[in-house]
Structure 1
Amino acid sequence: MRSHLTRNVYRRLLAGHGLVRPCPGQLVFFSSSSSSRRLSRPPSQLLIRHAPRRTFFGIFKKPPRELKEPELEPGYDVLLKFRSDETENERLQSRAALLKGLREFLEHKKRYHKFLNSTQAFLTSRLVRHLLETEAPPEELSKDLDVVDLRLALELALKRPRGDCANHLALARVLYAGIEQRTGAGAFEADGADPESALEVSSPEERHQDFQQYLTALVQYGASLEAVECLAEHLKELQAKGETNKGARVLWVLVLEGLASEGREEELLREYRNAEAAGVNYMPPVHEVMTTFFARRDRVPETKQWFGKPIHGNWSPTTEAYMEVVRFAVRNNQKDWIRPVFEKLVKSNPQKSRWDVIFAWAVLAMDKGVEDIKQMMELMMKSPKNSSNHKKEKRPDADTINVLIKAAIEKKNPYLAERFLALATELGIQQNYATYVLQMDYRLEAGDLSGVQAIYQKLRSREVAVWYEADVPILNKYLRALCAVETPDIERILDITSELERRYIIIEPETTVSLCTLFLRSDKQFDVIDTLSLHTLSYSIEERRQVQHGFVQYCLDRKASTARAWDAYSLLRQYFPDTSKEDRIRLMDEFFARKRPDMACHVFGHMRAHASMDMRPTRETYVRCLEGIGRYPDLESLRMVHNMLKMDTTIQLDTQLYNALMVAYTSCDEVLLALDLWEQITNMPEGPSYNSLAIVFWACEKMYWFYFNADRRIARDIWEKVQRLDLDVPPAVFNSYVGAVAAEGALENIKRLIQGMDATMGYSPSVMTFGIAFNALPAEELKTRFKQWATAEYPELWARLETKGCKQTLRGTIYNVERIFEA
């Protein structure tokens, strides 16, 4: 079965267009005749607005704004097209073109230190698998996929993405298998192949590095149990070959870290014992893994046991282990237990990095202030120099200040963080980029946006060098905060987004949602289009769903005007053709609720015209749409939907669909057509339902209003047939029949029907019974007489009806009773 997701998403990523038709609202789109057709126009021309005619005075106007062109990363279009061609079973590009695109893509990612998102990892794994499973022509063997390419891809696969990592794990498996295949390693031999057929030869050190990276991928992406098995097999193979692995300790630590991160306590303890049996000592990294595992779970006895266990070679714990037990002690009221540990550390003439942990302990566990920390810094500077480097003094630096600021942030004390910054100035310590990022962070938490802007300007002016995209997470957070204020500064926001664009930064999907929501509220559709064009093409499918969900939520938000909600929907359809059918139905219902059946039916029409069969409306969707028209009549929209139904060969008409059509046509005052549908229902083997009866009586009621000479026997004949069949008539059907009789003006008949309900129907009249009867009476004089009778005979029910209120219409006085007919 073909993948409609690939056909409708990946191809549109390349073409940058959607399957659209003219719709209500301000936005106008080009349409395409088929889902696979590609336009020669650039994406910026796909969404246009009607321009006024040019006049003499128009020559002085500014030219219309040009939309920003989306840019795909080099080589990414090749990966997209390959997957599209593979899914559609079309002819693939040449092997040389595929290799060229893959290499360009991987080299671009490495050059700019970017990670693969989930979708990119999936596409890369599919292309690499194809290249590995197919043979290159003899003349291209020298330029074919080699171990260098595979190792580069594996290196990129180790950069953890946002969101789901399943595709990264699959990619790592494919790449490592390819490396084994290319180098004639054990896994390749296990498949029965000849080791001499390997294309390249790797040294034991290179093979160890390959295996270590593969093991890292397994433990990083949730496959630690598989990593345990792989490590056991690896060590067994080395032993069988008489080889030694000097890096086995590192591999054991990796496995332990993976099991700990997945919370597998039983397996962690088992593998620790196996590591001990294999000769792995209780080194600082192992100590850190075991201590951290129990400390983060607030397991007090176990944490004390593993932290206090002697470390091999009298080494000290790592700074990470120290920091974790500090936080553990604060959370679990174990400050007295941790105090002797750090007092001993202070007396041991620790290294500079350990002093930074001591300062953090003093702030977090001992509640020390700036003056206390200053005295401790003086103590540090007076301590003997490190034995490893006698010329280097231990002095506080930017890293020390950053540790102190982080401690203040953990204590949720921005004032203390500011005092530590002042201390840095007093001591002449030059701040680094991490200090600026931390300042922005705690000032954002404190709501000090002007202070954040001041720090941002320093970063932008390059007062300090920023390590690649280290400031991007906090800038995303800053943008979201700017969008969330009551009166956003749009110029400031656009200034920041322009700077990120200049740096070719792809913002986070949550930030895209915030920006687009703000721009939609501000009627800045061009900025929405720019934001979507520049970023969504580089998102994974999961990230695209986040943005898509944001647009759906905006459309469902009643605070947004209907016009803005329609603009948002138009952009949603343009940029996210893979929006789920469930979300489309929710949007259809929303536009019905906004009393815009024309918009709701266009949403339905877009489902009907979608290239993917999975997006097409089902029988239930048709019923839902027609019921919506029944609540909010629009004859033109009804005719459009009915025509779609007639042309839809996948839908079989049944009683429920006929009921829905009856509801819609009756609501649109086309009662004769509704009664024709009733005739078709009676001729069906399935026959009418109770809902059919309620609807047809309603149609008769309206017919008597519009056609004075109409046959007055229709409703009575149906009712007599119901009585002959001795059916248990629900209250909704009886009330609808009362409305039909009332529309004839037969006041005495109504009274007899209502008075005899207990005896004939087995239930009493309701407020709805009186409301329907009163509203259906054709003359004001009849309504007055009915009201007098009901007030005398059923005073409590009539009083409840009066509480609903009434209004004056062309049909006279009408009580506010809501009648909802379901198919």
Structure 2
Amino acid sequence: MRSHLTRNVYRRLLAGHGLVRPCPGPGPGPALAPSSARCLTIRHAHGRQPMQQLLVRRPSRRSFIGIFQKPPRELKEPELEPGYNALLLFRSMESDDARPPSRESLLLGLRQLLRHKKRFHKVMNTTQAFLTLRLLRYLLENPSEDVGDDLDLDDMRLALEIVLKPPKGDDEHHLELSKLLFEEIGRRVRSSPDLDMGLEPAQASEINNDFRMYITGLTQYGASMEAAEAVAEHWRELQDANGIYAEAKALWILVLRGLAKEGREAELLRVYQEYGKAAGPGLDYTPPVHEIMTTYFASRDRVSETKHWFRKRIHAKELPTPESYLEIVRFAMRNDEKDWIQPFFETLVNSNPPKPYWDAVFQWAVLAMDQGVEDIKQIITTMLRHNEGNDDIKPDARTIDVLIMASIEKKNPYLAERFLALGPELGIAPKSTTYILQMDYRLDAKDFSGAQAIYQKLQNGEVEVWNDEDLPVLNKYIRALCTVAEPDIERILDITGELEQRHAILEPETVVSLCMVFLRSDKQFDVIDTLSLHTVSYSLEEREKVRKGFVQYILDRKVSTARVWDAYTLLRQFFPETDPEDRILLMDSFFDRKRPDMACQIFGHMRAHANPAQRPTADLYVRCLEGIGRRPDADSLQMIHNMLKMDVTIQLNTRLCNALMLAYAACDDPPAAMEFWSQIQNSAEGPSYNSLAIVFWVCELVPFGDRTAREVWQQMQRMDLDVPPFVFSAYCGAIAGQGHVEEVKRLIAGSEAALGYPPGVYTIGITYNALPGVERQELFEEWAKEEYPEIWVRLERKGRRETVAGRKFRLERTMQA
């Protein structure tokens, strides 16, 4: 049953009160990296907003007396994993520097989460690892006097086991958590009173297993060099105590595998050579070591090194692993070395190897030898003839699977179908993996009806599916259904509904695909259901993928403004952690859509955000006001200006005054714009060139503005300033705006002598556009055609439009603060 706290927390998230806020300053324990310096917390805002209010409210419709009206649709509430809300609540209290929840509730929540992960084979995502790390540090730094009121060794070992399942995305916190858990396990073992009496075999085995899991974590999460040092020291201790146990040899394998995974070639060779000699028989060239070394060089297409390590004699004349054989097959395919590998496989076949090697032979035959079904049948016949009566060596479902996988690798779905038909012919019943592979290659071939048939077989329980192994291909199926021109919404909802019943969490890419389809179909409630059911369990990195999908949808100019505004509403409410950079892009996009009211609403949401890091800076105020300058809207300007007046973190400077002057002038309020020019003149910073261009434009609009423009121009002349072309063009517009045709002609004609450059297209065009009345424009046009014919031709190409104030050239006159 869902907890009241879960509902309350996530309704606040969805209502936009914010679940993500900045992490506190440096304190005990590591902070998040700058790129992810945010952590999940719960806002302590009072009041709640029902989920039905998530969408933009639309007028309600009522049928006759309401008796035939359908009941409102029930929105699906998000479900947290058991115990996760305790971690969120603790982090909220920690961030607010408030008293944390009771130790009992924290321990209960952590244990519930760990047992849930164990039972359902769930991976701990990066955010959950961070929250677990913070909570565990708190519990360890604040021990309880009550022995029973604490995590025991079993809890610690369970947590270490779970954290070894690699997450998608950053694994930094998994590494730190595995180190902390191992350190605490070791401390408790060393402090145990039973240690003085000697270890029983079961206890020694547990300690050895703890160390193995620790090394696994180090090598899995990028700390293989640290693992190498730890294993070397451990090995020396075992040698001194004459206590080397069989499993200890496998620790070197973990180290080598980790070094190879990290691409540390020099360290890989050094560990193999140096510690191999010190360990004696502990690190012989066994099949696993042979596989690591061969795979490392083969995957990098290092031909000579691959051949050397593969041909190197294996300890006790054992065979290479099947994986080694498959790796050199792929290596040979990429490097045209089919002839080199053929003798190895012929020798393997003649040795009548165990069943896994026969499966490798089948894949070699398909991939490298281009053999078909009949050829494989002959190999199977040979295998059965040499192993008559041996039930361990005969084709099975795994054989069919590897043949299908080889066909998929060759991108040959037809061949895969033929190998699939080989199963019934040999009396082999398919397994779940067979159906999953079949569905996978049918999706690659865009055979949706065939994929649906396999999906129905899985649904009908023809085979048993373990540990959600079908989830990846079902995610792929949903995404494929979403990519067609006219998606089958009902089929998509049927599949997602079945997965919901299984409490399965969809991949972020799938959630993005679903949301985009639902948004295009105006099914906002389905978008809300999808987001609320899945994103609450995502890490910050996974949430970012979904968030970026929404941002790209909103930025798509092909989508209607109404739809993208609905999408933005959902983005704001489900993803309060949206980066300011993305919010700025969205704001600009609505200015480009000629909806300054919506753009300024986005700015207002940033201004009201609970997270100070999300609130607008002075530069962002300028950017928003420049947008209003391009797309005037007096009400939006008043709203932004009021926000600026109330924002104690922002100090007026020349750029802000420029932006305000620009916005007020664009909104037909030149007198208000001139007030900001007065502030600029009286400020210590003074005007910039952009200030001059803007004030000249304001002078163009205001009655008798030429007086102010001349005063400014004369002051510039007295100061002997270099005048950029865009400032000169604006001054010409200011003079022309009051109808002074002859004066502006003299200005333009004398520009090369006075300023050092001739007039350009914008100088002539701005002057023409600024002149009031058709007669003045005609006089100027006649003069400009004669004096500057080339410029006039370029202006004519831009075209003109009729306005109330006369004809205007289509010039993009963009001013910046």
- Length-normalised TM-score, structure 2: 0.93
Paired position in structure 1 for 2:292:
289
Write the distance in 2 (CA, Å) between the matches of 1:200 and 1:678.
86
Write the distance in 2 (CA, Å) between the matches of 1:367 and 1:773.
76
For 1:424-445, what per-residue CA distance to the aligned partner results, in whole angstroms no more than 9, with x for missing partners? 2322221111111111111111
Instruction: Name which of 740, 747, 750 aligns with 2:741.
Output: 747
Q: 1:733 aligned to 2:727?
A: yes
Paired position in structure 1 for 2:86:
78
Give the counterpart letter for 1:604 in structure 2: F
Paired position in structure 1 for 2:756:
762
Instruction: Name which of 30, 33, 36 aligns with 2:44.
Output: 36
Instruction: Name which of 371, 375, 378 aligns with 1:372.
Output: 375
Partner SS for 1:142: coil
Paired position in structure 1 for 2:542:
543
CA contact (8 A) 2:535 2:543 kept: yes
Write the distance in 2 (CA, Å) between the matches of 1:493 and 1:130.
44
Give the counterpart letter for 2:171 in structure 1: C
Change in 2 beyond 3 A, CA 1:736/1:631 = same
Paired position in structure 2 for 1:275:
276
Give the counterpart letter for 2:371 in structure 1: K
For 1:730-767, what per-residue CA distance to the aligned partner results, in whole angstroms no more than 9, with x for missing partners? 11111111111111111111211111111112111111
Change in 2 beyond 3 A, CA 1:790/1:194 = farther
Paired position in structure 1 for 2:325:
322
Paired position in structure 2 for 1:632:
631
CA contact (8 A) 1:15 1:38 kept: no
CA contact (8 A) 1:349 1:383 kept: yes
For 1:591-621, what per-residue CA distance to the aligned partner results, in whole angstroms no more than 9, with x for missing partners? 1111111111111111111112211111111
Write the distance in 1 (CA, Å) between the matches of 2:289 and 2:190.
33
Please state how far the C-alpha of 1:243 moved relative to its aligned partner.
Answer: 2.8
Write the distance in 1 (CA, Å) between the matches of 2:247 and 2:89.
41
Paired position in structure 2 for 1:29:
none
Please state how far the C-alpha of 1:648 moved relative to its aligned partner.
Answer: 1.0
For 1:98-153, what per-residue CA distance to the aligned partner results, in whole angstroms no more than 9, with x for missing partners? 11111111111111111101111111122222222222233xx1352111001111
Instruction: Name which of 133, 141, 156 aligns with 1:133.
Output: 141
Q: 1:266 aligned to 2:274?
A: no
Q: Select between 659-668 and 77-86 the one with higher mean Cα deviation.
A: 77-86
Give the counterpart letter for 2:723 in structure 1: V
Q: 1:98 aligned to 2:106?
A: yes
Write the distance in 2 (CA, Å) between the matches of 1:432 and 1:711.
85
CA contact (8 A) 1:588 1:604 kept: yes
CA contact (8 A) 1:182 1:199 kept: no
Q: 1:154 aligned to 2:148?
A: no
Please state how far the C-alpha of 1:216 moved relative to its aligned partner.
Answer: 0.7
Give the counterpart letter for 2:251 in structure 1: L
Paired position in structure 2 for 1:601:
600
For 1:373-412, what per-residue CA distance to the aligned partner results, in whole angstroms no more than 9, with x for missing partners? 1111111111135xxxx65263211111111111111111
Write the distance in 1 (CA, Å) between the matches of 2:198 and 2:810.
83
Instruction: Name which of 781, 787, 802 aligns with 2:775.
Output: 781
CA contact (8 A) 1:597 1:637 kept: yes
Write the distance in 1 (CA, Å) between the matches of 2:195 and 2:650.
59
Could you say what the CA RMSD is over the residues aligned between the two structures, in angstroms?
A: 2.3
CA contact (8 A) 2:216 2:254 kept: yes
Write the distance in 2 (CA, Å) between the matches of 1:156 and 1:604.
43
Change in 2 beyond 3 A, CA 1:410/1:128 = same
Q: 1:165 aligned to 2:171?
A: yes
Instruction: Name which of 16, 21, 28 aligns with 2:13.
Output: 16
Write the distance in 1 (CA, Å) between the matches of 2:488 and 2:277.
60
Please state how far the C-alpha of 1:670 moved relative to its aligned partner.
Answer: 0.3
Paired position in structure 2 for 1:300:
303
Give the counterpart letter for 1:382 in structure 2: R
Please state how far the C-alpha of 1:662 moved relative to its aligned partner.
Answer: 0.5
Write the distance in 2 (CA, Å) between the matches of 1:48 and 1:726.
57
Give the counterpart letter for 2:533 in structure 1: L
Please state how far the C-alpha of 1:794 moved relative to its aligned partner.
Answer: 1.6
Write the distance in 2 (CA, Å) between the matches of 1:414 and 1:393.
30
CA contact (8 A) 1:183 1:199 kept: no
Please state how far the C-alpha of 1:458 moved relative to its aligned partner.
Answer: 0.9
Please state how far the C-alpha of 1:201 moved relative to its aligned partner.
Answer: 11
**Aligned 1:420-431 pairs, distance under 5 A:** 420-431=419-430
Write the distance in 1 (CA, Å) between the matches of 2:222 and 2:685.
54
Instruction: Name which of 790, 795, 803 aligns with 2:797.
Output: 803
Please state how far the C-alpha of 1:460 moved relative to its aligned partner.
Answer: 1.3
**Aligned 1:199-348 pairs, distance under 5 A:** 203-273=203-273, 274-278=275-279, 279-280=281-282, 281-348=284-351
Please state how far the C-alpha of 1:87 moved relative to its aligned partner.
Answer: 2.1
Give the counterpart letter for 2:64 in structure 1: F
For 1:4-51, what per-residue CA distance to the aligned partner results, in whole angstroms no more than 9, with x for missing partners? xxxxx9996584344479xxxxxxxxxxxx952154566556557446
For 1:215-242, what per-residue CA distance to the aligned partner results, in whole angstroms no more than 9, with x for missing partners? 1111111111010011112123334444
Partner SS for 1:218: helix
Write the distance in 2 (CA, Å) between the matches of 1:663 and 1:128.
55
Paired position in structure 2 for 1:403:
402
Paired position in structure 1 for 2:480:
481
Write the distance in 2 (CA, Å) between the matches of 1:180 and 1:609.
49
For 1:520-554, what per-residue CA distance to the aligned partner results, in whole angstroms no more than 9, with x for missing partners? 11111111111110011100011111111111111
Give the counterpart letter for 1:739 in structure 2: G
The unaligned stretches of length 5 or more in structure 1 are 1-8, 22-33, 705-709
Change in 2 beyond 3 A, CA 1:785/1:15 = closer
User: Would you say how many aligned residue pairs link Structure 1 and Structure 2?
Assistant: 786
Write the distance in 1 (CA, Å) between the matches of 2:128 and 2:7.
11
Q: Select between 525-534 and 282-291 the one with higher mean Cα deviation.
A: 282-291
Paired position in structure 2 for 1:27:
none
**Aligned 1:287-686 pairs, distance under 5 A:** 287-385=290-388, 391-392=390-391, 394-686=393-685
CA contact (8 A) 2:143 2:150 kept: no
For 1:236-273, what per-residue CA distance to the aligned partner results, in whole angstroms no more than 9, with x for missing partners? 33344443322111111111111111111111111112
Partner SS for 2:440: helix
Partner SS for 2:684: coil
The unaligned stretches of length 5 or more in structure 2 are 1-5, 19-41
Write the distance in 1 (CA, Å) between the matches of 2:546 and 2:747.
57
